[in-house]
């Protein structure tokens, strides 16, 4: 079965620069994913071992933030999250310019 995200069309809205061989960015879908029209965004994850793209809904990111808190064993600092969100969005805007 072909991956429906293989040929998706999106516009990058934020990117985290994480070092050599590792990056993550999110995009807004420019057209629906056939058979998965509920998805509104995409999450691109590249590691030294694998590259994947997920179709996501905003609620998926809420879950990711909960997982981050579990892994770090402490609450996320909301001021840090807000500052990093602005930085990541700025990188995404530069890429789209």
What is the predicted pLDDT for the residue at 46?
Answer: 95
What is the predicted pLDDT for the residue at 1?
Answer: 72
Indicate the pTM of the whole model: 0.85
pLDDT above 80: residue 47: yes
Q: Looking only at Cα atoms, what is the longest distance across the chain?
A: 43
According to DSSP, the β-strands at 23-29 and 41-46 are antiparallel
Extract the runs of DSSP E, i.e. beta strands, from the chain.
Answer: 10-17, 23-29, 41-46, 51-56
pLDDT above 80: residue 96: no
Rounded Cα gap, residues 63 and 77, in angstroms = 16
Rounded Cα gap, residues 50 and 77, in angstroms = 29
């Amino acid at each position: 079965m072909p991956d429906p995200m293989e040929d998706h069309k999106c516009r990058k809205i934020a990117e985290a620069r994480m070092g050599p061989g590792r990056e993550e960015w999110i995009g807004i879908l420019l057209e629906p994913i056939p058979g998965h029209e509920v998805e509104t965004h995409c999450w691109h994850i590249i590691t030294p071992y694998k590259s994947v793209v997920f179709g996501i809904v905003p609620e998926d990111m809420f879950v990711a933030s909960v997982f981050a808190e579990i892994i770090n064993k402490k609450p996320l600092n909301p001021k840090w999250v807000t500052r990093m969100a602005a930085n990541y969005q700025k990188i995404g805007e530069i890429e789209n310019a």
